[in-house]
Amino acid sequence: MIEPRPLSPFIDLAAVEAWDAWFRWREHSVLHDVSIEDTWWRVACALAAAEAGNEGPAWRLRVMDALASWRLLPDPRVLAKAGTGLAERRHGTLHAVLNAACFVSPADAPHAAIDTAALTDCAALAVRALDNAALLAGNVTTRLRIGVVGIADALALLGLEYDSEAGRTQAAAVAQALAEGCLGGSIALAASRGGCERDTRGLLARAMLRGAPQELLKDAARHGVRHTQLTAITSQPRLALLANNVADAVDPLRGEDHAGLIIAADGQRTMRSPGYALNVLRSGGSGPSHWRDTLEHQSWFAQIAMRAALQPWMDSPIAYPLLATHLPDEPQRLAARMLTAQHGLGEPAWRSSAEVQAV
């Protein structure tokens, strides 16, 4: 019996090019991944191999659904190598991101809302997926980090401005759901595969401050956790581009016809696109002719404010470079250092959007 594979349509040409350049399995003239669904299925089947007993098939379908809906994107190395026979022992850190934009339903305002319960469930799934990848690579000490992309796209679909209290409140709700799901996933793994040997009192105190449900705290006290630090927002440009070109991490939308440079083994290509949110809004007839809630209309102070709203839910400081149309002068850099220090963020650095972004 052939198991059903949900369709996973692309809506952005840049995403197709990203998949073809970085994640599509081919060996010389042999094309193994004919479609993106083949890529998702390859990864889901490979990761399910770590599941014990008869749990594999059901878990595999859950992962396939999360991948095909563009909600979960595991580490680029996992996407490229899992199930190909080319996977290597991975050291360092394995990342995964949840795509906040694809938890918005319906697709645009005024009735749109983010399904935070589904996001929490998907975060727990992401923890297990990366733990499986580490087990299969024979490296159980690998650090796992779960973050987000597409925050700005989600806010646009909700009709919320990026630089607004309402926007930051909604983004914080996403971060809280992420943290709760990661904690739940870590506890479940501790119960089934064994917990870490570190003192978890600090983690439990942090979870209490974050308002974690009492049942989850009781489970953590009973079973422990398998991973003590999981939530982290880092720049993941390749995953963001693959996910139909959503904004990377918690960056603002870059605006109309923004460029990205895709560098692959067979050369490089420049792709231009308005990105996921504007594509969706335009297709529904609700997008304005000129979208103003983009990087060129905002100060990078808005990005610091957004990061500050999410930082309480992160296990490590948000420290990837800020995106700027113009690099700041020294007084602005000093002001940014003061703000980031005040909110527990990383030392500020900048990357310019004036040039084509190579990923």
Say whether 257 sits in a helix, a strand or coil.
coil
Other Cβ atoms within 10 Å of 95 Cβ, number: 22
Q: Please report the pLDDT score of residue 312 as a whole number.
A: 96
Residue 324 is inside which H or E element, if any? strand 322-324
pLDDT reported for residue 264: 81
Dist. CA 137–CA 126, nearest whole Å: 17
359 residues of the chain, pLDDT tens digit each: 456 678 999 999 999 999 999 999 999 889 999 999 999 999 999 999 999 888 889 999 999 999 999 999 999 999 999 999 876 555 689 999 999 999 999 866 678 999 999 999 999 999 999 999 999 988 877 899 999 999 999 999 999 999 999 999 999 999 999 999 999 999 999 999 999 877 788 888 899 999 999 999 999 999 999 999 999 999 999 999 999 999 999 999 998 888 788 888 778 888 888 899 999 988 876 655 556 788 888 888 999 999 999 999 999 999 999 998 888 899 999 999 999 999 999 999 998 876 556 56
Beta strand 357-358 with 350-352: parallel, antiparallel or unpaired? Answer: unpaired
Give the pLDDT confidence score for residue 25 in this predicted structure. Answer: 96
C-alpha–C-alpha distance, residues 146 and 178, integer Å:
8
CA-wise closest residue to 70 among 279, 305, 320: 279
What pLDDT is stored for residue 215 in this prediction? 93
- What pLDDT is recorded for position 1? 46
The C-alpha atoms of residue 186 and residue 127 are separated, in whole angstroms, by 7
- CB burial of 162-200 (b: ≥16 within 10 Å; e: otherwise) equals bbeeebbebbbebbbbbbbbbbbbbbbbbeeeebbeeeb
35: number of Cβ within 10 Å: 14
Beta-sheet pairing, 143-149 with 93-99? parallel
What is the value of pTM for the model shown? 0.93
